[in-house]
Amino acid sequence: MTSRPDLQVLPNETSHDADVLVIETEQLSADITATLRRWAADTGVPVVLVIGDIDDGELLTVTRYGVLAILPKRALTAEQLTHSVRTVAQGGGMMPPSLVGGLVRHLEKFQREVLAPSGLHAAGFLQREVDVLRLMADGFDTNEIASKLYCSERTVKNIFSRMSQRLNLRSRSHAVAYALRTGVI
* Cβ contact 24:50 at 8 Å: yes
Measured in residues, the chain has a length of 185
Domains of the chain: 12-115 (3.40.50.2300), 119-181 (1.10.10.10)
**Mean of pLDDT values over 72-78:** 89
Query: What is the enclosing helix (H) or strand (E) of 56?
Result: helix 56-64
State the pLDDT confidence band at 6, using cuts at 50, 70 and 90. low
Side chain identity, residue 18? A
Give the Cα separation of 24 and 52 in Å (integer): 8
The rounded mean pLDDT for the chain is 86
Rounded to two decimals, what is the model's pTM?
A: 0.61
State the pLDDT confidence band at 5, using cuts at 50, 70 and 90. low
pLDDT given at position 107: 78
pLDDT given at position 143: 96
Does residue 17 surpass a pLDDT of 70?
Answer: no
pLDDT given at position 9: 65
